[in-house]
Amino acid sequence: MKKSVMVLFVLVVLLMSIPAAGNKEVAVTVPAAPTAGLNASGFPIVAEPVTLKVFGVRDQNTAEWKNVKMLTEYQKLSNVIMDYQEVPTQGYDEKKSLLFASNDLPDVFVRAQLSKVEIAKYGMESGQLIPLNDLLKQYAPNFMALMAKYPTILASITSADGNIYALPELDLSNTGRMGFKQWINKEWLAKLGLKAPTTTDELITVLRAFRDKDPNGNGLKDEIPLGIREASSIYVLGGSFGLDHQMKETINIENGKVHIWLKDAKFKSYLQFLNQLYEEKLLWKDYYKRDLPSWRSNLSNALFGAFYMPYSDVFLKVENQFTGYAPIKGPYGDQLWSDANSGVLAVGAFAISNVCTNPEVAMRWVDYFYSEEGSLFFRYGIENETYTLDANGTPVFVDSILKDPKGFMTALGQINLVPGGGFPQVITNDTDGVVASALTKEVSAMMVPYLPEQVYLQPSFTQEESEEFVTIVQDLYKYRDEAVTKFILGEWKFDKWDEYCATLDKIGIAKLEKLYQQAFDRL
């Protein structure tokens, strides 16, 4: 009898020990001395193959990374074997958070979409990302050259403790100077005898004509006068009301003063303008539903009269129906295009974790993509195989990619990671042509004169600031997004405006402005 009790006891102990084993805490490893056989410059990077574990997010148009042509070619060239463990966009945020929380880290993060807050948290606070400053000086001549040429890059990527924990995606081309470009259907305009609008009033007139006069001539009222892709892009016309979009937020910066304009009278009249568009059925009615499939089908069927898109790649087949126009003048005489970029697109495109034993190899691996040559290689691939140079020396993809029956983006996703952007690289006027068609470049040029003089990225917060920032922002921006949508849809009437302002005060808009100002002053 005693025996069987013992058996029971042993069984219980065995079962208990299973979860305990999983909870062992991983010790922090210190990077070892530089890898043997590392070449300071040129290829291969290492004499003997080195394997690095990579974590990142895969765009839906991209093939599995281990099969992407550019990456396999680069592996042969560099002798660095990347063990890709990429995750699809859906559910990526969860996976990223859990990865850091469980401290089960890869060696490097590529196309990682790390935010400023995350860089501060996992870099400055927990030390899971290592500072790259010394590595940059020693092993990243291309990136250092770019920083020397464009001093704003350094300020945008430096954390509050003076360290750099992540490398960005840089877009130094003209098309990259703004996010959304504005497009309008020139065939519809010609048919109705209208000109592209220059003021907000003219815009409304044009949109009403699009709505009522069946410009595509199919006898159906299927035209959608104005397309805005999602709720977060609703500020795209704010520039015409003097509402800039500095630090990629609802912020103006004048004479060194940070101002969140959510309570301004100009913003109220902007919302009233959008509300009018919505009530008159001029604005796409499903804009707030995050319904990308129907957005794309409306675009490729040319059902939108006017809309905002960064590139024409999604509606390439009908792009000739469209043209650009200069930003419109608002009721207060403002004429500004607020969706501007500083050249630094994604701050957290690349990072190295503290478990990586060959950080210098990783640094050399990524630095190549910050050179002209590397940019061409990353974006276009191999000359005479994936692209050819035309008479002007401009790279053009070969027809098998351009005219792939599965679509250009899918074909592109087989050879590189351009679809979706966010890769650590530099994009220049010579290499932006992958997604920017000639027309996109033309449209961008029309808007460049109206960009703000200076564009600031979100500044870096200290640990305490960051904690306070997150606490306020999670309520404030949530409330803002909800309120803005309700005002536009007419769920809330504008007599609620004072209540809305009072709520913003209560959540702490003044404190938030102060936090931004403090961090901005450190730049």
Partner 1 sequence: MSKRVWKRVYAKLDLFLLLLIPLAWYVVFKYVPMYGLQIAFRRFNPSLGITASPWVGMRYFSQFFDSYYFWEIIYNTISLSIYQLAIGFPIPIFLALLINEIQHKRLQKTVQNITYIPHFLSVVVVVSMLNLFSNVDYGIFNKFLGVFGFPAADYMAKAQYFQTLFVFSNVWQSMGFNSIIYIAALTAIDSTLYEAATIDGCSRFKKIIHISLPGLLPTILILFIMRMGSLMEIGFEKVLLMQNPINMSSSEIISTFIYKNGIQKGQFSYSAAVGLFNSLINFLLLLFSNTLVKKFTKTSLW
Asked if 292 touches partner 1 (CB under 8 A), the answer is no
Binding-site residue total for partner 1 (CB under 8 A)?
52
Asked if 470 touches partner 1 (CB under 8 A), the answer is yes
The Cα–Cα gap between 176 and 462 comes to 29
| The one among 43, 100, 150, 477 contacting partner 1 by CB under 8 A | 100
Asked if 13 touches partner 1 (CB under 8 A), the answer is no
**Residues 188-227 as x/- pattern, contact with partner 1 by CB under 8 A:** ----------------------------------------
Cβ contact 226:287 at 8 Å: no
DSSP string, 338-349: --B--SEEEEEE
- The residue (of 51 and 126) whose beta carbon lies closer to partner 1 is 126
- The residue (of 56 and 330) whose beta carbon lies closer to partner 1 is 56
* Angle at 303 (CA atoms; ends 300, 305), nearest 5 degrees: 115
Asked if 233 touches partner 1 (CB under 8 A), the answer is no
> What are the E-state strand segments in 19-150?
50-58, 80-88, 108-114
Q: Where are the alpha helices (DSSP H) in 351-494?
A: 359-367, 372-380, 399-402, 408-415, 438-447, 463-489
Asked if 501 touches partner 1 (CB under 8 A), the answer is no
Asked if 155 touches partner 1 (CB under 8 A), the answer is no
Asked if 257 touches partner 1 (CB under 8 A), the answer is no
Part in contact with partner 1 (CB under 8 A); list of ranges 35-43, 155-163, 188-196, 468-476: 468-476
Tokens of 392: 């002007």
- The residue (of 126 and 454) whose beta carbon lies closer to partner 1 is 126
- The residue (of 180 and 287) whose beta carbon lies closer to partner 1 is 287
| The one among 6, 10, 11, 382 contacting partner 1 by CB under 8 A | 11
- Residue 10 host element (H or E): helix 2-22
Part in contact with partner 1 (CB under 8 A); list of ranges 215-223, 324-332, 420-428, 472-480: 472-480
| The one among 138, 335, 485, 517 contacting partner 1 by CB under 8 A | 485
Provide CB contacts within 8 A for 423, sequence distance 6+.
110, 111, 169, 349, 369, 378, 417
Residue 491, SS3?
Answer: coil
Provide CB contacts within 8 A for 333, sequence distance 6+.
none
Closest CA to 331 of 204, 241, 261, 267: 241
Provide CB contacts within 8 A for 197, sequence distance 6+.
184, 203, 205, 206, 325, 328
229 exposure class (CB count in 10 Å sphere: 0-12, 13-18, 19+): buried
**Residues 76-95 as x/- pattern, contact with partner 1 by CB under 8 A:** -----------------xx-
| The one among 188, 273, 288, 325 contacting partner 1 by CB under 8 A | 288
The Cα–Cα gap between 348 and 167 comes to 6
Asked if 103 touches partner 1 (CB under 8 A), the answer is yes
Q: Which residues bind partner 1 (CB under 8 A)?
A: 1, 4-5, 8, 11-12, 15-16, 18-20, 23, 25-26, 28, 93-94, 96-98, 100-103, 118, 121-122, 125-128, 231, 285, 288-290, 354, 470-471, 474-475, 478-479, 481-482, 485-486, 489, 491, 503, 506-507
